[in-house]
Chain A
Amino acid sequence: MFLFVVFALIALAAAVGVITSRKPVYSALFLLLNFATLAALYIMVEAQFLAAVQIIVYAGAVIVLFLFVVMLIGGGELDDIGGRNKKFLARLTWPRGIALVLGLGLLVAVGYGLLSGQLMTATNDAAAFGQGSVQAIAAVLYTDYALPFELASILLLVGMIGAVALAQPPKKD
């Protein structure tokens, strides 16, 4: 329990760091810290495989790509994000308005789920999550959930082919 509180606090602090950092590189690094603490939380509920995948996919690839992009388009300090000197309503342009509405919607949905207990159906008993070993996950993934698994991989394949198609130089007739 003590470790959980420590990691949860680090994760929350990192999440706040992501949106308050003024340098994009620092935001990406806070996100990395957040993912790492999530992996630690997975390990605490005996989901070692999930933790490893979390690190390999998010820490090892996604954030590296973020950094890559930030560095290529210039990772300097954002000057005056959205006009800090202006009044609140003047800063509320339409993309920010949409983001605000969607963010509040998510917060309400998650909050409702937590308070009504619908997100808590699984007990936080380690034994309930004890099936997190590679063998257990693989057995379920390739038998009961084989179809969703294959569909998800086709989705990724479509994304990949789309990226290759977009990267092709246009044909000259």
Chain B
Amino acid sequence: MDWISLILIPAIKSLILVIVLLTGFAYATWFERKLIGRFQQRIGPNRAWTFGLGHPIADALKMIFKEEIVPSYVDKILFVMAPGLAIVPALLIFAVVPVGPNITLFGREIPLVVADVNIGLLWVLAVAGVGVYGIILGGWASNNKYSLLGALRTSAQMLSYELPMGVLLIAILLTTALGTADGAGTLSLVQIVNMELPWYIRIWILLAFPLYFITMLAETSRKPFDFPETENELVAGFQTEYGSIKFALFYMTEYLHILGASGVAVSVFFGGWRGPFVEQAPILGVFYFAAKLIAMVFLFIWVSASVPRPRYDQLLRFCWTFLFPVSLVYLAITAAIVILL
């Protein structure tokens, strides 16, 4: 009885999560190629099956069966290890994101989250921080100056943008003090989604979303901030020397980061799985969550199709002289609001 809820259910939930994430990754690439095609007035992939739905599967097969090349001048251990180090944290982020309310299955109450830990958001920050290693080590182990430059850019970019991101999250965590019964606030994403906040606080939180979204773009190294791989300056940055399935792992990491960051943002800013009629039919929550997640991914792709890439020094200057001070001011105002209310 006990081992079922302790080991079996979390194991099944993790397995389902990983499968859904990997399928989600495959169709996120399809979604992006289709959308970018439409944005550029093309049709996009349409060869394999209806609407080109078979393209991700074809791509996966192609990647797996390509020849594995490890160049002779690389640091072999780290070169092989780096893609794995990159993808594991990307998969782990989703563990604390609730995808729906508690549902009852076989007479058992099952929360739709893999791990509701009390450190919640800190887990996200910790895992995201570790995620940078795959890229840095991949770039360094490649023993190629373009790869190394890409890797160094990544570490500077991610360390810089972690600051405004962390400060904005602290500000939002402060508002959770208004939603918990004892006024102590919470870090758990499950409780953050469940919480009832006054409407003006919700609007105040939403005001931070544009800033947070910019830090998300930078943390996931998405266009227009894809400096780790800037193809017109660095060939392909940290992944220049990678091919076949190892390249595919890096590629997966990028999309999993988008999915993970979107999941966290949906939970923090847009009420996660909540929507009309969820009380009556809890399973609806999963669909609301999926719809919000897809909308967020759409936003990512929309931005990447519309905004040109800035210069690297502009990126860092923007972070340190605009984003960081503004998020500090936002934090101070939020703190004042929370104290006064």
Interface flags for A108-149 (1: CB within 8 Å of B; 0: not) read 000000000000000000000000011100110000000000
Tell me if B159 counts as interface (CB < 8 A to partner A). Answer: yes
Q: A49-B119, A56-B125, A67-B137 are in contact. List 13 more A-B contacts (CB 8 A).
A: A25-B75, A48-B118, A52-B123, A53-B122, A55-B126, A55-B127, A59-B126, A61-B162, A64-B155, A64-B159, A67-B136, A72-B152, A133-B118
Query: Is the CB of B1 closer than 8 A to any CB of chain A?
Result: no
A56-B117 Cα distance, complex, nearest whole Å: 16
A-side residues, CB < 8 A to B, are 23, 25, 29, 32, 48-49, 51-53, 55-56, 59-61, 64-65, 67-68, 71-72, 75, 133-135, 138-139
Query: Are A25 and B140 closer than 8 Å at their CB atoms?
Result: yes
Task: Tell whether, in the assembled complex, residue A61 and residue B78 are in contact, meaning their CB atoms are under 8 Å apart.
Answer: no
Docked pose: A59 CA to B128 CA in angstroms: 11
B187 part of interface (Cβ distance < 8 Å): yes
B126-153: which residues lie under 8 A (CB-CB) from chain A? 126-130, 132-133, 136-137, 140, 148, 151-152
**How would you classify the secondary structure of chain B's contact residues: helix, strand, loop or mixed?**
helix
Q: Once the chains are docked, how many angstroms separate the CA of A148 from the CA of B119? A: 24
Interface assignment of B184: CB less than 8 Å from any CB of chain A: yes
Alpha-carbon distance between A5 and B118 when the two chains are bound, in angstroms: 26
Contact A68 B152 (CB under 8 A): yes
Give 7 nearest A-B pairs by CB, closest first. Answer: A60-B129, A52-B122, A55-B126, A52-B119, A56-B126, A48-B119, A135-B184
Please give, as numbers and ranges, the residues of chain B lying within 8 Å of A53 by CB-CB distance: 122
Output the nearest chain B residue to A59 by Cβ-Cβ distance: B130
B132 touching A52 by the CB < 8 A rule?
Answer: no
B148 surroundings in chain A (CB, below 8 A)? 71
Provide the bound-state CA to CA distance between A41 and B148, in Å.
34
Q: Is the interface of A mostly helix, strand, loop or mixed?
A: helix
Chain B residue with minimal CB distance to A49?
B119
Task: Verify B126–A52 contact, CB threshold 8 A.
Answer: yes
CB of A24 to closest CB in B, whole Å: 11
Give the number of chain B interface residues (Cβ < 8 Å).
Answer: 27
* A48 and B159 contact, CB distance less than 8 A: no
Are A67 and B140 in contact, CB atoms less than 8 angstroms apart?
yes
Contact of A64 among B78, B119, B123, B132 (CB under 8 A): B132
Q: What are 5 residue pairs bridging A and B, where the CB atoms are less than 8 Å apart in the complex?
A: A52-B122, A55-B126, A56-B122, A71-B140, A135-B184
Complex: A170 Cα to B288 Cα, angstroms: 58
A48: contacting residue among B117, B132, B155, CB under 8 A: B117
- Most chain B Cβ neighbours within 10 Å, of A23, A48, A56, A133: A56
B140-A55 in contact (CB<8A): no
Bound-complex Cα distance A139 to B184 (A): 9
Beta-carbon nearest neighbor of A71 in chain B = B140
Nearest CB of chain A from residue B305's CB, rounded to whole Å = 31
Give the chain A neighbours of B125 by CB distance below 8 A: 52, 56, 60
Contacts A48-B118, A71-B152, A134-B118; is A60 near B126 (CB within 8 Å)? yes
Neighbouring A residues of B140 by C-beta, 8 Å: 25, 67, 71, 75
Task: Evaluate contact between B119 and A134: CB separation under 8 angstroms.
Answer: yes
Q: Which residues of A contact B126 (CB under 8 A)?
A: 52, 55-56, 59-60
**Nearest Cβ distance between residue B150 and chain A, in whole angstroms?**
11
Q: Which residue of B has the minimal Cβ distance to A53? A: B122
User: A163 → chain B, closest Cβ, in Å?
Assistant: 14
Complex formed: what's the CA distance from A68 to B154 in Å? 10
CA distance A62 to B78 in the complex (A): 20
Q: How near does chain B come to A57, taking the closest CB pair, in angstroms?
A: 9
Residues in A neighbouring B117, C-beta threshold 8 A: 48
